[in-house]
Structure 1
Amino acid sequence: MKTLLKTTALVLAFAGPAIAGGHETWKTVDEDSQIAFGSIKSSEFGEVHTFDALSGSVNEKGEVAVSIELGSVETNIDIRNERMITHIFKAADARAELTGSVDFDAVHDLEVGATTVVDFEGALSLVGVSADVEAELFVARLSEDRVLVTTSDMIMLSTYDLGIDAGVDKLKELASLEGITRVTPVTVRMIFEK
C-alpha cells in the first residue's frame, strides 16, 4: 500500500514539469487521478487495489507536494478496507505525503500531443516513516493547460522500507493466509492542469 502511495506521488511530481511554462501552480484533477497497487496472497491469488482520494501540486520552482488519503483505499472487500485502515494506516483520516522536486526544463517546451519520459526523486512520509522514492514517469501534454502523468514502468515498493511489515503480518493472521507478498507493484495515473 505504501508502495502505491509512493508511486502516486512520483507521478504527480512528473506531471508538473510537462505543464510548466510560466509562474503558475499546476494542480491535480483529483477525480481523474488514481494510484493502483497489487498484492499476492498465498503465492497464487493476485489482486489490484486503489487509492481514490489524492491531491497534488507542482509550483514554478519544480517543488512537488502530493497528499494521499489512506482511508480512500479500495480493495473491493469492505472488511479488508477496514483492516488495512486499522492495522496498516492506523487511522481513517491518515494521509501519506510525498515531497520532492523536478527539473521543469526537461519538459518545458513539450508541445500539445507530444510525450516524454522524466525521472523523479523525493521522499514519501507514511505513518511516521519516511522513505526515498525514485521513479520514471511518462508525461503526455493533452492541451496547453493539461497533462497526463503515468508510471513508465511498474514501481516495486517494499513493505519493509515503508515500515508496515507488522501491519501486513496482522492482515495475514486475520485472514488466515499462508503469506502476503512484501513487495508491491504500483502504477500511477494523474492529470494535472493550471
Structure 2
Amino acid sequence: MKHLTCLATVATLMTTLATFAYAGGHANWASVPDQSGVGFGSIKKDTVGEVHHFEDVSGTVSEAGELAVSINLGSVETYIDIRNERMIEHVFQAADAKATLAGEVDMDEFNDLAVGETTLTDFEGVLSLGGLEAEIEAELLVARLTEDRVLVTTANMIMLSTADLGFDAGIDTLMQLAKLPGITRVTPVTVRMVFEK
C-alpha cells in the first residue's frame, strides 16, 4: 500500500509537469479526469506482483508555469475492498488524506511544440504528504495532441521508497493483518495524463 501511495505521488508530480510543459504561457491548464491516470505496483511474498491506481487525481498549471497537483489517497483502488479499507486506515490514516505536489517548469522550452510532436523533459518538484516532504525527479514524454490538449506520460518507471514518505509503519501493519511475510518497500509508478485549456 505504501507502494501505491508513492506511485500516486510520483504520478501527480508528472501530471503537473506535463501541464506546465504544454501550457505555452497563455492560459491555465487542467487535467482531463477520464483520460488521465496514475498506476503503481507492489510485490508481496517476493513473488506476487499487483497493479493498483488512484481514481481521484487532479492538476493545474498556471501561466507562469506553477504546478499544483492533488491526489485523493482515499480513492485508492487495489481491486480488493478490504485491502482498500486497510490502506486508507493504516497507511494513509484518513479517508480524506491527500498528497500534493508543487513545482515549476520553464514554459519557453515547450512553446514551439507543434501538434503531433513530442519531447522529453526533466521535472523536479516537492511532494507533501502527512506533514512530510520529499523531492521528486522524473523524465516525462510530452505529446501535443491538439492546440488545446497535451498528453504527458512517464518516459520510464519511477521507483519510490516507502520509507521516504513515512509509510513503513503502516505497511508493517498491513503485513500483520494479511499474514504476509513481506511487502516490497520500493514501488514502480507510471503516469498517463491529458491536460487541456
Q: Same fold (TM over 0.5)?
A: yes
Residue number in structure 2 paired with 1:168: 171
How many residues end up aligned between the 2 structures? 194
- 2:97 partner letter: A
C-alpha distance in structure 2 between counterparts of 1:77 and 1:135, whole Å:
30
Pairwise CA distance, 1:126: 1.2
Superimposed CA distance per residue, residues 30-88 of structure 1 (whole angstroms, 9 cap, x where no aligned partner): 22211111000010000000001111101111110000011110000000000000001
Of residues 22-31 and 39-48 in structure 1, the stretch that sits farther from structure 2 once superposed is 22-31
C-alpha distance in structure 2 between counterparts of 1:130 and 1:17, whole Å:
21
Residue number in structure 2 paired with 1:102: 105
Residue number in structure 2 paired with 1:76: 79
Maintained 8 Å contact 2:8/2:53: no
Superimposed CA distance per residue, residues 139-162 of structure 1 (whole angstroms, 9 cap, x where no aligned partner): 000000000011000000000001
Of 55, 58, 64, the match for 1:52: 55
Tell me whether 1:155 sits opposite 2:158 in the alignment: yes
Give the secondary-structure state (helix, strand or coil) at the position aligned to 2:163: coil
C-alpha distance in structure 1 between counterparts of 2:25 and 2:155, whole Å:
26
Of 171, 175, 191, the match for 1:188: 191
- TM-score for both structures, normalised by structure 2: 0.95
Pairwise CA distance, 1:127: 1.8
Structure 1 runs not aligned, ≥5 long: none
Residue number in structure 1 paired with 2:10: 7
User: What percentage of aligned pairs have identical amino acids?
Assistant: 62
- TM-score for both structures, normalised by structure 1: 0.97
- Stretches of 4+ moved more than 3 A in 1? none
Pairwise CA distance, 1:21: 2.3
C-alpha distance in structure 1 between counterparts of 2:5 and 2:121, whole Å:
22
Tell me whether 1:117 sits opposite 2:106 in the alignment: no
Of 137, 143, 148, the match for 1:145: 148
Structure 2 runs not aligned, ≥5 long: none
Residue number in structure 1 paired with 2:130: 127
Maintained 8 Å contact 1:18/1:140: no
